[in-house]
Amino acid sequence: MRRLKPTPRRASGFASLGSGSRGNGTLVAIGGSLFLVDCGFPLKQAEARLGRLGVRPGDLTAVLVTHEHSDHASGVPDLTHKYGLPVYASNGTFKAVGHELIGHTVHGDQPFDVNGVTIMPVTVPHDARESVQFVFYHANLKIGVVSDLGCVTPHVIDQYSGCDGILMESNHDREMLMRGRYPIRLKRRIASDLGHLSNDQARDFLTAIAHPRLEVVVGHVSAQNNHSDLLRRTFAQFDTSVACLSFATQQDGCGWTHFADSSGSSIPVAFGHAV
Ligand SMILES: [Zn+2]
Ligand SMILES: [Zn+2]
pLDDT tens column, 110-160: 999 999 999 999 999 999 999 999 999 999 999 999 999 999 999 999 999
Ligand lying closest to the C-alpha of residue 72: 1
Write down the pLDDT at residue 262: 52
Q: Residue 263 — pLDDT band, cuts 50, 70, 90? A: very low
Give the residue-averaged pLDDT of 86-107: 95
Which domain CATH number covers 168?
A: 3.60.15.10
CA of 190 from ligand 2 middle (Å) equals 10
Give the residue-averaged pLDDT of 165-176: 98
Q: Which domain holds residue 243?
A: 12-249
Q: What is the pTM of this model?
A: 0.92
Mean of the per-residue pLDDT values for the chain?
Answer: 92
139 domain-assigned:
yes
111 domain-assigned:
yes
Ligand lying closest to the C-alpha of residue 21: 1
Question: Which residues are paired to 28 by β-bridges?
Answer: 14, 35
User: Does residue 128 contact residue 96 with C-beta atoms inside 8 Å?
Assistant: yes
CA of 130 from ligand 2 middle (Å) equals 11
CA of 147 from ligand 1 middle (Å) equals 7
Give the residue-averaged pLDDT of 153-172: 98
266 domain-assigned:
no
CA of 196 from ligand 1 middle (Å) equals 8
Ligand lying closest to the C-alpha of residue 189: 2
Nearest alpha-carbon partner for 79 in 121, 117, 37: 37
2 domain-assigned:
no
128 domain-assigned:
yes
CA of 130 from ligand 1 middle (Å) equals 14
CA of 52 from ligand 1 middle (Å) equals 22
pLDDT digits (tens, 9 = 90+) for 186-201: 999 999 999 999 999 9
Nearest alpha-carbon partner for 249 in 231, 264, 233: 231
CA of 21 from ligand 1 middle (Å) equals 5
Ligand lying closest to the C-alpha of residue 145: 1
261 domain-assigned:
no
272 domain-assigned:
no
165 domain-assigned:
yes
Give the residue-averaged pLDDT of 245-265: 83
Backbone dihedral angles phi then psi of residue 9, each to the nearest 5 degrees: -90, 150
pLDDT digits (tens, 9 = 90+) for 13-37: 999 999 999 999 999 999 999 999 9
Domains of the chain: total: 1
User: Does residue 250 contact residue 19 with C-beta atoms inside 8 Å?
Assistant: yes
Instruction: Let me know if 1 is exposed, middle or buried by CB neighbors in 10 A (0-12, 13-18, 19+).
Output: exposed
